[in-house]
Amino acid sequence: MVNAASNTNASGEPLVRIERLGVDFGRLRVLRDIELELSRGQSLAVIGESGCGKTVLLKTIIGLLRPTRGAVYFDGRNVAKLSERELTRQQIRFGFLFQQAALFDSMTVAENVAFPLRQHTQKTTDQINRVVLARLAEVGLPEDVLAKKPAELSGGMRKRVGLARALAMEPEIILYDEPTTGLDPIMGDVINELMINTRKRHPVTSVIVTHDMRTARKASDRIVMLYPLDRLEADEPQILYDGPPTMIDAASDGRVSQFVRGEARERLMEMRQRNGG
């Protein structure tokens, strides 16, 4: 496994620190002994095949899921030990772009983007409207989408509205769950550029869960690859790669190379052996 370089901020404290994290759902073990540190301003892509725990990791970082073992620290505080009120205050510092944007179908675009501002701030209606317009302009959407409902938008437009909403509270960290899934290559790259531009405009840290190697290479400065536990030996680490995008093609672990190149031959052989084929 390739280790990333410096993961701490100027004060020596990482923004996110994950210690021996394990997450189980009943008898199903999804994450095991995950160790990660994420510095302020870094953009981390988490890759790996379906079922390896990428989204579970994301939800544990923000406190939507509690660890079975180990701990997640955000800005030095153990997320699982926060009170409900403290957790809510902590989560306001996050922006979350869900896989399908997760917009409220009954609300207009303007109402969706304004929702966190109405919930968590004392801004006036005029102030909120200015923020909504600014965030929509930032993701390349015109004012004529304000009154539309999510059902009237294309998939790419819904993703951009979701990003505008994630940015509304000026978060310190944005979590992206499969931001380009379901989009054509051009619109997928629009989202990649928006993620890059977001980091240029705002002092934000990013965690991007993705299957898309183009996104991982282009929008991150560090890649971590997880592997499904049911295909690992008991003493094998679940993180197969942790390093810069420029080094991943030279990874010594063949499983990393197979994923990066999208090669299924050995995986098919393994599936046949398991099924007695």
Same domain, 164 and 178: no
Q: Of the ranges 1-5, 92-96, 253-257, 273-277, which one carries the lowest mean pLDDT score?
A: 1-5
The CATH number of whichever domain residue 3 belongs to comes to 3.40.50.300
pTM: 0.87
Residue 183 shares a structural domain with residue 56 = yes
In a shared domain, residues 276 and 244: yes
Closest CA to 223 of 204, 198, 251: 251
- d(Cα 31, Cα 23) in Å, to the nearest integer? 5
3-state secondary structure of 247: helix
Per-residue confidence band for 67, with pLDDT thresholds at 50, 70 and 90: very high
How many Å apart are CA 186 and CA 188, to the nearest integer?
5
Q: What is the pLDDT of residues 187-204, one digit of tens each?
A: 899 999 999 999 988 889
Does residue 3 sit in the same domain as residue 87?
A: yes
- The first and second tokens of residue 21, run together, are 């994290």
**Could you give the percent of the chain with pLDDT greater than 70?**
90
Q: Which domain holds residue 185?
A: 1-93+172-277
* Crossing angle for the helix pair 254-261 and 265-274, to the nearest 10 degrees: 110
Is residue 98 in a domain?
Answer: no
Per DSSP, 231 falls in state: G
Out of 136, 170, 204, a domain closes at 170
SS3 category, 203: coil
Long-range contacts from 267-271, C-beta under 8 angstroms, 24+ separation: 270/231
CA atoms within 13 A on the CB side of 117: 24
Q: Which two tokens stand for residue 255?
A: 């499983």
Residue 72 or 100, more confident: 72
Same domain for 70 and 112:
no
In the block, tokens 């080094």 appear at: 247
* Segment (H or E) for 239: strand 239-243
Residue 178 contacts residue 202 (beta carbons within 8 Å): no
State whether 52 and 122 are in the same domain. Answer: no
The torsion defined by the Cα of 163, 168, 171 and 176, in degrees rounded to 10, comes to: -10
Phi, psi of 194 (to 5 degrees): -65, -40
* Domain presence at residue 187: yes
- Summarised one tens digit per residue, pLDDT across range 145-182 is 999 999 999 988 999 999 999 999 999 999 999 999 88
Confidence category of residue 103, pLDDT binned at 50, 70, 90 = confident
Number of structural domains in the chain: 2
- Tell me the per-residue pLDDT of 10-43, one tens digit each, with 9 for 90 and over: 456 899 999 999 999 999 999 999 999 999 999 9
Q: Based on the domain organization, do 153 and 176 belong to the same domain? A: no
Q: Is residue 13 part of a domain?
A: yes
Residue 11 lies in a domain: yes
The values of phi and psi at residue 233, to 5°, are: -75, 160
Indicate whether 108 and 18 sit together in one domain: no
Same domain, 71 and 112: no
* Mean of pLDDT over the chain: 89
Domain termination site, one of 128, 151, 170: 170
pLDDT confidence of residue 203: 85
The domain boundary residue, chosen from 120, 140, 170: 170
pLDDT at 7: 43
Distance of alpha carbon 236 from alpha carbon 33, whole angstroms: 10
pLDDT tier for residue 141 given thresholds of 50, 70 and 90:
very high
Residues 182 and 239 placed together within one structural domain of the fold? yes
Which range (196-205, 222-231, 241-250, 268-277) has the least confidence?
Answer: 268-277
* Co-location of 263 and 183 in the same domain: yes
Strand, coil or helix: what is 215? helix
Residues 52 and 114 grouped into a single domain: no
Cα end-to-end distance, the chain, whole Å: 32
In a domain, 83, yes or no: yes
Residue 274's pLDDT band, with cuts at 50, 70 and 90, is: low
* Per-residue model confidence (pLDDT) at position 1: 45
Q: How many CA atoms lie within 13 A of 43 on its CB side?
A: 21
The least confident of 70-84, 130-144, 257-271 is: 257-271
